[in-house]
Structure 1
Amino acid sequence: MHPTNIAMISDFFHPNVGGVENHIYMLSSYLIRRGHKVIVITHSHPPDRVGVRWLLPCLKVYYIPFPAIASSATLPNFFTFMPYFRNIVLREHISLIHAHASLSSLGHEGILHAHLFGIRTVFTDHSLFGFADAASILTNKLLAGTLRNVDAVICVSHTGRENTVLRGELYHQVGDDPKSIMVNDNVYVIPNTLVADQFQPDPDFVEPPGQITIVVLARLAYRKGIDLLVATAPRICEAFPQVKFRIGGDGPKLIELLQMREKYRLQDRIELLGPVRPTDVRSVLTKGSIFMNTSLTESFGIAMLEAACAGLYVVSTRVGGVPEILPQDMISFANPDADDVFRAIEEAVKIVSMGRHDPLRAHARVKSFYDWGAVTERTERVYDSVLKSESRSLQERMHRTMQLGLFAGPIYTTILIVECIFFLFLEHFWPREDIDYVTQHWDDRNLTKFDSGQADYMPSVAEAQDTSRPA
């Protein structure tokens, strides 16, 4: 694939830290390493994270002055974002937009505006959503409107692909039979991954005689199944006197964990670490033998992959894309109910106690399964197919948008028409000749220390955050 100018767009990026944020950063870093130019467009973070910043190795980030309203997501702005978007993609000579996350308003709007500039679009969905509650219904309709004219969609698991296809209506009828449908051929599955060398087991760590430590690292929220943890932890401690818990994370369910620990007087058996910095994740994981995940929904589950890479045996609820992550002999599954979670922990304690799980071998296996270089190559192939495909005309986009439904179709089509008028307005009153185009780019020679011939190293987003500087 020829070097391409790519813009990653999402509400979720540094200085926040999470699965989506780390995915965008690592993918951008490896794309830069392979010769592409990559920038990131996201919203601002008070008090002073606004404007242009640089992250290692040479990733330029535009922080648009939009505040987040909830969970780091911005309010859909549509036309307010257009002037910023136009200025950035023109001055940076962007030819491909890659948006991330279903709840990212900036990602949806970037895909909506891109066709006006002849820019091709790719969308990656990182999460699973339902179909029944009001929030999911609204989010799914917004997603369907955005993906109606996107050039390609990437999902992080096969389960996530099924979920996204249904939510985004990424299928078409075959023949005259309305029940005969087929998934669009522009939907791909590319799993998440990690840098295995950053999660090496601690060869010097040995559990105290007769003790087994269960590690939990998650956001303490309902979706992560913390209610299951609260219900099963006392039973586990009672049944297995040798078991201790180390729980890291923060969230609304922290109070319930504190109350549970106080009620059953388990202060010496359950250690609550609070928020854990990304740079400290490995040190927390390598001080345990079993990793416990009780999520109620999970598209991929990068935390479990990190734990397995660090040498822990994994216990998880069988939800979403979790069964696709690890081989059967490295994980014990449970249904999302307290009795079955207890059974799975009992199985894991027996496996670890009998020495049937080798941390170093587990790390080597995960390292052979997952690699950012392979993920980047697969993503490049998606980009290449998109850039070589024929783009849709405005008339075809309007026709496809009208098919969204009796109410959503006309609404989205109206937005599409008004967007075109606003674009012409900007073209007239802010001519392209007045834009300050980028003419000098980062010197690739500054990446020599990242070349495989000298050092096979790529910083994590946690390491890069300390080097962020205004442009």
Structure 2
Amino acid sequence: MKSYPILQLIGGGEVGGAEQHVLTLLQNLNFNRFNLISGCLIDGPFARLTEDLEIPTLRFPMNHALDLSPLPSLLTELRQQEVALIHTHGSRANLLGRLAGRWAKVPVISTYHSSLRQDYLSRKAALVALGLDRLTLPLTSGIIMVSEALAREVASRGGKNLRTIYNGIQPLSQMGDETYRRNQRQLFRDHWDIPDDALVFGSIARLHPTKGLETMIEAAATLLPSFPKLHVLIVGEGPLHSTLEGKLKEAGVPYTLPGFIPTAYQTLPAMDIFILPSLNEGMGLVLLEAMQAQLPIVATRVGGVPEVIREDQDGILIPPADSHALAEACQTLFNQPLLAKQLVQSGLTRWQTFNIEQMIQKTENFYEEILCLK
């Protein structure tokens, strides 16, 4: 059977949700059918990670988001590697990959992991990204969306041949074992000097405005007088680190901001409630990790989140940027342990409907459709 070289093209400046998704594709797609290559547009942690895993890795470093200077080397590699399909992830990859695909006559599929309207620190940058996306969308042969909410957004910009394929997740190692969770809880709480009896508000997120983490801090400050043992734990890194730390100090809320941790899911047992306060979210893969860690969840009713969390069944959904609603939801979980337990039990079943096998099969089917192999 012929093997078709597929280039997975991504920025790679961090190892966030999109990078984890690409890594899943690189490690799980049918090797007999597809020859997978990783391509990074930033010489950063993702390129080093894939190389450490002995995945063929190419670098096409862009000096800025609109830098087209890597195009010649990308075109050269497409020809030398005889790439049959380019799969792009993110704005930089979409721009460079779509142009290269058109010139090299190689079909391009783009996956949207989040809303472009919310991904940028400035309105001007967001408008430029949206404009370029609208201009280059006709250069794609197919588009994968990680939620129906994103599908509606991209369709409104003129996207065609859209396919919604939810992100999948594997069982997290040992997370189903109560002794393991208890040991992890103790391990991280000891490491970060979080008291055993603290009530930990937890989240794993990029420290970026679109994640709505300031709302989480405001809710914690509101609850602190009633719950003096409250502690905020936010695992992740990003441009708002110093801003969030300043707000936590100003509010007098005990906190831990440990920065980026490659296997962040291992810290979940240290939390008592998992909070996703995003202003927008493509799907929220971290919610599936929190379900496996058996945490009650409070999340904002945005983007693809309601497609993952069934309201008042798998978690509590609230409006975005509403610290009062967030505080009220957390107080409900603190005061009603039976409700919290019911949400956790439902989540344990729910996460299994988003499995990697299904995601991989649907992605392979789409590749074969685009390559006219079916």
Q: Pick the TM interval, shorter chain.
A: 0.7 to 0.9
In structure 1, give the amino acid aligned to 2:51.
Answer: W
User: Of 276, 282, 288, which residue of structure 2 is paired with 1:299?
Assistant: 282
Q: Does the 8 Å contact 1:291/1:314 carry over to 2?
A: yes
**1:369 aligned to 2:343?**
no
Q: Does the 8 Å contact 1:199/1:310 carry over to 2?
A: no
**In structure 1, how many angstroms separate the alpha carbons of the residues matched to 2:39 and 2:115?**
24
Q: Does the 8 Å contact 2:4/2:84 carry over to 1?
A: yes
User: Of 81, 97, 109, which residue of structure 2 is paired with 1:110?
Assistant: 97
Name the counterpart of 2:56.
60
**In structure 2, how many angstroms separate the alpha carbons of the residues matched to 1:60 and 1:296?**
36
Gaps of 5+ in 1: 171-183, 390-471
Name the counterpart of 2:168.
193
With over 3 angstroms needed to count, the CA separation of the structure-2 counterparts of 1:197 and 1:243, relative to structure 1, is same
Helix, strand or coil: the match of 1:330?
Answer: coil
Superposed displacement of residue 227, structure 1: 2.0
Q: What is the correspondence of 1:55-134 to structure 2 with a 5 Å cutoff?
A: 55-56=52-53, 58-67=54-63, 69=64, 74-77=65-68, 80-101=69-90, 103-104=91-92, 106-130=93-117, 133-134=123-124
Q: Which string of whole-angstrom CA distances, capped at 9 and with x for unpartnered residues, describes residues 223-261 of structure 1? A: 111221221111122233454332223334333443344
Name the counterpart of 1:339.
324
**In structure 2, how many angstroms separate the alpha carbons of the residues matched to 1:261 and 1:91?**
52
**In structure 1, how many angstroms separate the alpha carbons of the residues matched to 2:209 and 2:174?**
27
Superposed displacement of residue 31, structure 1: 1.3
Name the counterpart of 1:259.
246
Name the counterpart of 1:315.
298
Name the counterpart of 1:231.
218
With over 3 angstroms needed to count, the CA separation of the structure-2 counterparts of 1:121 and 1:265, relative to structure 1, is closer
**In structure 1, how many angstroms separate the alpha carbons of the residues matched to 2:340 and 2:144?**
39
**In structure 2, how many angstroms separate the alpha carbons of the residues matched to 1:123 and 1:113?**
13
Q: Does the 8 Å contact 2:148/2:304 carry over to 1?
A: yes
**1:326 aligned to 2:309?**
yes
**In structure 2, how many angstroms separate the alpha carbons of the residues matched to 1:294 and 1:383?**
34
**In structure 2, how many angstroms separate the alpha carbons of the residues matched to 1:211 and 1:134?**
42
Superposed displacement of residue 39, structure 1: 0.6
Gaps of 5+ in 2: 186-194
Give the number of the structure whose alpha-carbon radius of gyration is greater. Answer: 1
Q: Does the 8 Å contact 2:298/2:330 carry over to 1?
A: yes
Superposed displacement of residue 335, structure 1: 0.9
Helix, strand or coil: the match of 1:112?
Answer: helix
Superposed displacement of residue 163, structure 1: 1.1
Superposed displacement of residue 211, structure 1: 5.4
Q: Does the 8 Å contact 2:12/2:43 carry over to 1?
A: no
**In structure 2, how many angstroms separate the alpha carbons of the residues matched to 1:252 and 1:91?**
38
Q: Does the 8 Å contact 1:10/1:41 carry over to 2?
A: yes
**In structure 2, how many angstroms separate the alpha carbons of the residues matched to 1:114 and 1:236?**
53
Q: Does the 8 Å contact 2:3/2:34 carry over to 1?
A: yes
**In structure 1, how many angstroms separate the alpha carbons of the residues matched to 2:251 and 2:104?**
62
Q: Does the 8 Å contact 1:198/1:282 carry over to 2?
A: no
Name the counterpart of 1:245.
232
Name the counterpart of 1:380.
364
Superposed displacement of residue 298, structure 1: 0.9
With over 3 angstroms needed to count, the CA separation of the structure-2 counterparts of 1:219 and 1:199, relative to structure 1, is farther
Name the counterpart of 2:132.
142
With over 3 angstroms needed to count, the CA separation of the structure-2 counterparts of 1:235 and 1:379, relative to structure 1, is same
Helix, strand or coil: the match of 1:54?
Answer: helix
Superposed displacement of residue 342, structure 1: 1.5
Superposed displacement of residue 305, structure 1: 2.0
Superposed displacement of residue 162, structure 1: 0.9
**In structure 1, how many angstroms separate the alpha carbons of the residues matched to 2:301 and 2:258?**
26
**In structure 1, how many angstroms separate the alpha carbons of the residues matched to 2:202 and 2:357?**
29
Q: Does the 8 Å contact 2:210/2:278 carry over to 1?
A: yes
With over 3 angstroms needed to count, the CA separation of the structure-2 counterparts of 1:372 and 1:308, relative to structure 1, is same
In structure 2, give the amino acid aligned to 1:3.
Answer: S
Name the counterpart of 1:439.
none
With over 3 angstroms needed to count, the CA separation of the structure-2 counterparts of 1:46 and 1:31, relative to structure 1, is closer
**In structure 1, how many angstroms separate the alpha carbons of the residues matched to 2:337 and 2:244?**
26
**1:282 aligned to 2:265?**
yes
Q: Does the 8 Å contact 2:38/2:57 carry over to 1?
A: yes
In structure 2, give the amino acid aligned to 1:54.
Answer: E
Q: Does the 8 Å contact 1:6/1:36 carry over to 2?
A: yes
Helix, strand or coil: the match of 2:24?
Answer: helix
Q: Which string of whole-angstrom CA distances, capped at 9 and with x for unpartnered residues, describes residues 133-158 of structure 1? A: 43333212211121113110111100
Helix, strand or coil: the match of 2:117?
Answer: coil
Superposed displacement of residue 210, structure 1: 6.8
**In structure 1, how many angstroms separate the alpha carbons of the residues matched to 2:176 and 2:218?**
30
With over 3 angstroms needed to count, the CA separation of the structure-2 counterparts of 1:354 and 1:243, relative to structure 1, is farther
With over 3 angstroms needed to count, the CA separation of the structure-2 counterparts of 1:154 and 1:21, relative to structure 1, is same
Instruction: Give the TM-score normalised by the residue count of structure 2.
Output: 0.84
Q: Does the 8 Å contact 1:290/1:315 carry over to 2?
A: yes
Helix, strand or coil: the match of 1:98?
Answer: strand
User: Of 147, 160, 168, which residue of structure 1 is paired with 2:150?
Assistant: 160
**In structure 2, how many angstroms separate the alpha carbons of the residues matched to 1:362 and 1:200?**
14
